Amino acid sequence: MIKNQGLRHLALKVADVRRSVDFYRRVFGMKVVWEPDADNVYLSSGCDNLAIHRGNAGDDAAQRMDHLGFIVPTIADVEAGWEWVKQNGIDVVNPLKHHRDGSVSFYIRDPDGNVIQALYEPTISPQSFRG
């Protein structure tokens, strides 16, 4: 086993770096922590790191990812996020759903077609991280 503290970093290839940075800042409140050049930007939520790299997001030879997820603190926060998504014209993949295990989620798409899950998960969401 590899000792770890959970999934904390993800890198995406995108067609338009600025458009993607604006999306993740506006929709998830992420902040830019490093912008080494026009083709690469690193964002953080405070406990996670998202790298945005200019590339051909639709290249069939590129690695594929099913989705990435943002853990949401409470069910009420997921429900409020769902209302915000609908009011702001965000591309919806799957609507809000309450699952049998007590989790609640919905799926949206970013400007490059990457699928993102907003998720309340009963065992993970209550955890707190020190910054």
More confident residue, 59 or 52: 52
pLDDT at residue 129 above 90?
Answer: no
Q: What is the pTM of this model?
A: 0.80
| pLDDT score, position 89 | 95
| pLDDT score, position 106 | 95
Give whole-number Cα distances, 23 to 1, 84, 97, 117, in Å.
Answer: 35, 14, 23, 15
User: What residue ranges do the domains of the chain occupy?
Assistant: 1-55, 66-126
| pLDDT score, position 9 | 85
CATH topology of domain 66-126: 2,3-Dihydroxybiphenyl 1,2-Dioxygenase; domain 1 (3.10.180)
Structural domain 1-55, CATH architecture: Roll (3.10)
